[in-house]
Homo-oligomer: A and B are copies of this chain.
C-alpha cells in the first residue's frame, strides 16, 4: 500500500542501498493486489494465448484461537491512488484471498499443537471429580442405550480435562461439545460419523489450510520454474518474496541467491529497453503504458496474442482487458507487460540476431514462438532487473552476475506449454 519506490533514491546509492530501500518497503507495506498473466504458445494457430488474473490479497486473520494478527503500513496517497484506479477496498477486506507464509503457518500449527497436546494433569483436589466422571463415562459406553450424555464440568479447567480424556479413552468414538458454561455433551459416534466428525483441533487445522490461500499460487509459481517477466520489477519481486514466501535477507548477495533459487529465469522489460541502444532510440519513454504504445506502433512483425476469457468458470476467471483503454489493475499491468515482452523479443530476434539479419530483409514475416531458451541474445537480458536513476544500470539476480548458473534448469522447463508468466 505504498505508492512508489522512487522517493529517496540517490544516484550514487550502492546496490545494497537500493535493495535495502525496496526491502524496507516490502517489509512494511501490504500488497493489496497481485497480477499474474500466463502466456503459452498455440502452435496450431501460431499465436500466443494469454490468461490474466488479478488477485485481491488480504493478510490472513482467521479465528481468535489462531491468534494471527497481521499489521501493515498504509500511505494515504497510495490509498487514494488505488481508489481512483478502481480498487475496491471494501471488497479487498471482505472478500480478499487470505495468505499465510510458511513460517507463520508453522508457528500457528506449533501453537495449536502445544495447546491441544499438552496433557492436563489431574491434581489431587480434582481426582474425585475425575473418578466420578470416569465412572459415568464407563457406564455410558458399556450399559447405556442412549446416544448422548450430558456431564457437569463446573469450570474451564475441568472442561478441558473432559475434552482431553474422552478423546484419549474412547479413541475418537465419542465427540464432546461444550453446551453451556458448566455442561458438556458427549455423543457416541458410528464409524462413519467418527470419520466425518471434526474435533475443534481438526477444524482449526482445516482453517489454517484455507488461510494459506494465495501463497499456494506463489508456491506453484516457484515450482513451475517458468521465466518470470516484470516491468521495473525490483519492488514487485521483493513484495512477492517478502509477502508470500519468506523474509527478505538483509544482505544483497543473499537476496540474489534467494531469487536465483526461487525464480531462476527473470526478465525485466524496462531493463531490456533501457539497455539496448536500438530500443532506447525507438522508445521515448520506458514507462509501461508508453512503452506498450510505442511497441504497438513500431513493432508490427511479432506473433499475435489472444487474451483468453473463461466466462463459464467463475472461480478461475481470466480477465478480459482488451476493451479497457487504461486500467491500473495489477492483472492488466501484468498482461501489458507480457505483450510488451513478446513484441520486444520478436523485434530483437528479427533485428539483433545477426544470422537472421540478411534473411529478414527479403522473406515475409512468419509468426513463430520466441526462442527464449535457445537464442543466445536473451543471455544479456536474463536475470537483470532495472534500477532507476543510478550509475549502475541493473541489479543481477545472480550472484557474481555471470548469468550462467541456471542453464541446466532451463532445459527441463518444457514440461507443459506455458512459456512465461508475468507478474505485477
Contacts and interface: CB of A to CB of B under 8 A. Distances in A.
Contacts of A76: 58-61, 69-72
A74 interface: yes
Contact of A75 (B71, B79, B80, B94): B71
Contact of A94 (B70, B74, B77, B83): B83
Nearest to A70: B76
A144 to B, nearest CB: 38
A73 B70 contact: no
Contacts of A77: 61, 69-70
Interface in A91-135: 92-94
Contact of A89 (B30, B70, B73, B93): B93
A85 to B, nearest CB: 12
A74 B76 CA distance: 12
Interface string A33-70: 00000000000000000000000001111000000011
Centre residue among A30, A59, A71, A88 by max chain B CB count within 10 A: A71
Contacts of A60: 76
Contacts of A93: 79-80, 83, 89
Contact of A73 (B71, B83, B88): B71
A90 interface: yes
A364 B381 CA distance: 91
Nearest to A75: B71
Contacts of A74: 30, 71-74
A184 to B, nearest CB: 25
A61 B89 CA distance: 18
A88 B92 CA distance: 12
Contacts of A80: 61, 93-94
Centre residue among A83, A88, A93 by max chain B CB count within 10 A: A93
Contact of A90 (B59, B70, B72, B88): B88
Contacts of A61: 76-77, 80
Contacts of A90: 83, 88-90
A105 to B, nearest CB: 16
A94 B90 CA distance: 12
A30 B76 CA distance: 10
A75 B83 contact: no
Contacts of A94: 80, 83
A83 B90 CA distance: 7
A361 to B, nearest CB: 39
Contacts of A70: 75-77
Nearest to A59: B76
A30 B83 CA distance: 18
Contacts of A59: 76
A90 B69 CA distance: 23
Given A89-B89, A93-B83, A73 B72 contact: yes
Centre residue among A30, A58, A79, A80 by max chain B CB count within 10 A: A79
A69 B75 contact: yes
A58 B77 CA distance: 10
Nearest to A95: B83
Contacts of A92: 89
Interface string A117-160: 00000000000000000000000000000000000000000000
A77 B67 CA distance: 10
Interface of A: 30, 58-61, 69-77, 79-80, 83, 88-90, 92-94
27 contacts: A30-B74, A58-B76, A59-B76, A61-B76, A61-B80, A69-B76, A70-B75, A70-B76, A70-B77, A71-B73, A71-B74, A71-B76, A72-B73, A72-B74, A72-B76, A73-B74, A79-B93, A80-B93, A80-B94, A83-B93, A83-B94, A88-B90, A89-B89, A89-B90, A89-B92, A89-B93, A90-B90
4 smallest beta-carbon distances between A and B, as pairs: A89-B89, A70-B76, A59-B76, A79-B93
Given A79-B93, A80-B93, A89-B90, 18 more contacts: A30-B74, A59-B76, A61-B76, A61-B77, A69-B77, A70-B75, A70-B76, A70-B77, A71-B73, A71-B75, A71-B76, A72-B73, A72-B76, A73-B73, A80-B94, A83-B90, A88-B90, A89-B89
